[in-house]
Structures are given as C-alpha cells and as structure tokens.
Chain A
C-alpha cells in the first residue's frame, strides 16, 4: 500500500513532462518478427508494417521503465492507438513518452502514458495512450 502511494505521487509530479524513449531504424526483420509472432501472413507486410506494429517500437525501453516504476504488480489496462502515417522498413522513428494522468482506486494506481512516434521527415506517425495498472501483491 505504502509503495503504491509513493509510485503514484512520484508519477503525478511527472505529468506533462516528455522524455525520449529512443530513435529506432525500422528493419525489415523487425516487421517480419512481428507478423510471424501474430501469425499474420498477409503479403502486404513484405513492404510495409501492419498499423499495430508501431506500438512495439521502443517497447523494450518502455517495458524496462515500467518495471522500474511498478516493482510490485503490473497489468495492462488499455491501449488507444491513432495511426497517422504508414511505417516502412528504412524509416527512422523517434519515440517519446509522457505521463498524461494518474488515478488511484481500490489500492491500485492507474497511470496513462502518451507515446508519440515521429519519422525522419518529422511527420507524426502515430500516437498511443497506454494505461498501466500498478497493484499490490500479498506478501
């Protein structure tokens, strides 16, 4: 309980601050690993990425940060993805994160992040709101 409250307080102070998750060059192999993991054999994905692929770009970095923010229990609440531009191998994607809001309910912390993806032409590729739920596990 105490731990959850500290996380929520720390994150509330970060609301609105943007940070860089990284810059990533999209390789064909990344897209192929994604479609194979889903089992999507659509030939269209040989030259472009499926729209939901973008959420995995910087996913490892975001996951590591989440694990540090929520060392106890963590579940995924929701995902809201807006797609603006298609992604193709060779694109260079810059990923930034931001805390949009923090709510506490029934001993759980609901934290909504906004992840923004832009390409090498400074075009907005996608924006995604991810709500994560931090909870206390019984010790």
Chain B
C-alpha cells in the first residue's frame, strides 16, 4: 500500500496513480454473482447479439467499481469517498485492457472537511474514454 496522501500534498492537475484491469469473461461472471446483475448481455454472446450488441460487454458498474478502487487506493485509510458519479459512454469488451485514471480539478474546505474534486475516467487500449465521471473525496490535513 502506498503512503497516506494528505490534502497539502495535492494540487490542481495532480494525477492519481493509474489502475489497470483486464476483465475476463470469468471476472464478469464473478461480478454477476457479487452484484446480482444477471442481465445476459454480460455472459451470453447470442443473447447480447440479439440485443444489437457486437458481443458480450463488461458491466458498466464493474468499471465504476474499478474507479472506486482507483480512488480508495489513492485516498488511503484516512481518506473518505464522498461522491462518485460516472456516465457509461462506450462499451468495454472482455479481454480488453482498461486503465482507470484521475486528475484533481479543485480543492476546498467544506463542512470542516478538506475536500478534493477529481475528474475520473476509464480508457481502453486505444485511449477511448468509455466511462467518465467526477469524484469528491475528503483527505486528512497535516494541520
């Protein structure tokens, strides 16, 4: 685990350490079981194609969970995730490399907390942003 990041360490434009994932169809099935999302476009190719899709696609919320991990890995034990919002803009396919990234857009104090707002996104190997969003976290301050 990385060392605890503090509010003072962060500046606007600071980049979050990226997180890379490569979900397989097996991982999609694990996610289906863990999340209760059994919609068959995520494991049955024929069904996915009958819905007009090129094949099985990765659950949007699995990618959102990767973005959640990007944030919790970064903010450490003393940080707090306040908000995570994301839009599913494109599809990810099993076997593809997905890289989650984030960049600080604002830092401010509110409700007695040292808050940091970040742009977050997931991109495929071609650099296309398939999930984009925004997060607000609170970080500890050195005081």
Q: Is the CB of A80 within 8 A of B85?
A: yes
Q: What B residues does A50 contact at CB under 8 A?
A: 65, 68-69, 72
Q: Is the CB of A81 within 8 A of B62?
A: no
A81 touches which of B36, B60, B84 (Cβ 8 Å): B84
CA separation between A44 and B31, bound complex, in Å? 20
Interface size class of B (residues with CB under 8 A): 35 or more
Q: Is the CB of A39 within 8 A of B27?
A: yes
Query: Cβ of B86 < 8 Å from any Cβ of A?
Result: yes
B62 touches which of A30, A37, A61 (Cβ 8 Å): A37
Q: What A residues does B112 contact at CB under 8 A?
A: none
How many residue pairs, one in A and one in B, have C-beta atoms under 8 Å apart? 109
CA separation between A12 and B12, bound complex, in Å? 42
- Within the complex, the shortest CB–CB distance from A27 to chain B, in Å, comes to 12
CA separation between A39 and B69, bound complex, in Å? 9
Q: Which residue of B lies closest to A135 (CB)?
A: B52
Q: Is the CB of B33 within 8 A of A52?
A: no
Contact A56 to B34, CB < 8 A, known contacts A73-B52, A79-B61, A82-B83:
yes
Query: Cβ of A36 < 8 Å from any Cβ of B?
Result: yes
Q: Which of B65-108 contact A (CB under 8 A)?
A: 65-66, 68-69, 72-73, 77, 80-88
Contact A33 to B68, CB < 8 A, known contacts A42-B73, A63-B38, A79-B85:
no
- 14 A-B residue pairs with Cβ-Cβ distance under 8 Å, sorted by A, are A36-B30, A37-B33, A42-B69, A50-B68, A50-B69, A51-B72, A51-B81, A52-B64, A55-B35, A56-B34, A59-B35, A60-B38, A73-B52, A81-B85
